[in-house]
């Protein structure tokens, strides 16, 4: 029979967390030219028509959306 006693391992000391030298990056606003995802659902037929309309005028769907919004704001106020 083995009567050797088990020696507990020394407890590891935890290090202090690193100090923040600057504000967290996730709180900063994105520069105006960065893009963001605009996510909403539309009826499939509308999407198809919108995409064809934009392509037939050599525009991206984003360009068409931005121009449409500008015209809407001009006509209905900001």
pLDDT by residue for the chain (78 residues), tens digit each?
666 777 777 777 788 877 777 666 666 666 777 888 999 999 999 999 999 999 999 999 999 999 999 999 999 987
Q: For residue 12, what pLDDT is reported? A: 75
Cα separation values, 67 from 20, 26, 29, Å: 42, 30, 24
Q: For residue 24, what pLDDT is reported? A: 64
Q: How big is the CA angle at 75 (ends 69 and 78), to the nearest 5 degrees? A: 65
Model-wide pTM > 0.75: no
- State the alpha helices, DSSP H only, in the chain: 44-56, 61-76
Q: For residue 17, what pLDDT is reported? A: 76
């Amino acid at each position: 029979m083995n009567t050797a006693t088990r020696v507990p391992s020394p407890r590891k000391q935890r290090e202090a967390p690193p100090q923040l030298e600057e504000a967290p990056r996730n709180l900063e606003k994105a520069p105006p030219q960065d893009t963001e995802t605009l996510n909403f659902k539309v009826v499939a037929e509308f999407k198809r028509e919108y995409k064809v309309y934009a392509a037939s005028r050599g525009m991206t769907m984003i360009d068409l959306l931005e121009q449409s919004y500008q015209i809407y704001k001009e006509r209905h106020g900001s």
